[in-house]
């Protein structure tokens, strides 16, 4: 049976006290240190990329992927303004190409990988992550992670394509074997609209 640690492990007084992005960033921050190599699989506006860059320091490396040129420009500017550009390797391409851009010699040594699925805030909401490429990227992420490495996923069922993607990502996580991975889940309830889901995965 899959080893699953439910939301209660991570929940504050109420689920409204903290956003899922904060859960994800706290989960990842606790697992990275100066000199590490990490991945932002969906760079977007660069908030997670910056968090990772600050965590690994100038002796570390952050690979950041995005298919939209707007995102690439925004991420580069954000990290430049924060003085964190030195450790950044930006890839204008999909996260399903991760293994092609990361040297084979460091496969299996990545300490953290972050996915924030859906669309780029402030851009065309019709351009979203796709279920098939996301699942391929998640398979690659499991290979790239080091033992003890962490994978964080936030999925959004409230937009076109998002419901199927969220369902398939959750199904993918449920199929991971408990001898190789521990899975943490957080699915906050909402009566108004479909709520995002968070998955935190640790490679054993």
Q: What is the pLDDT of residues 43-61, one digit of tens each?
A: 999 999 999 999 999 999 9
Q: What percent of the chain is modeled with pLDDT above 90?
A: 72
Q: How far is Cα 92 from Cα 135, in angstroms, rounded to an integer?
A: 19
Question: What's this model's pTM, rounded to 2 decimal places?
Answer: 0.89
Give residue 192's pLDDT.
62
Say if residues 191 and 184 touch (Cβ distance below 8 Å): no
78 membership: H or E segment, kind and range: helix 69-81
């Amino acid at each position: 049976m899959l080893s699953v640690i439910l939301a209660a492990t991570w929940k504050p007084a109420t689920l409204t006290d903290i956003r899922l992005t904060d859960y994800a960033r706290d989960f990842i921050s606790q697992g990275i240190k100066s000199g590490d190599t990490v991945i932002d699989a969906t760079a977007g506006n660069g908030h997670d990329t910056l968090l990772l860059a600050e965590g690994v320091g100038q002796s570390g490396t952050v690979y950041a992927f995005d298919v939209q040129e707007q995102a690439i420009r925004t991420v580069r500017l954000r990290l430049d303004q924060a003085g964190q550009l030195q450790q950044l390797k930006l890839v204008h391409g999909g996260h399903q190409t991760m293994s092609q851009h990361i040297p084979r010699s460091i496969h299996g040594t990545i300490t953290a990988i972050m996915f924030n699925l859906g669309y780029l805030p402030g851009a065309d909401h019709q351009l979203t992550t796709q279920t098939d490429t996301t699942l391929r990227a998640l398979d690659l992420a499991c290979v790239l992670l080091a033992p003890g490495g962490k994978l964080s996923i936030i999925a959004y069922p409230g937009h076109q394509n998002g419901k199927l993607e969220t369902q398939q990502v959750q199904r993918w996580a449920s199929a991971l074997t408990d001898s190789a991975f521990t899975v943490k889940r957080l699915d906050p309830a909402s009566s108004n609209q479909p709520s995002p889901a968070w998955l935190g995965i640790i490679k054993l």
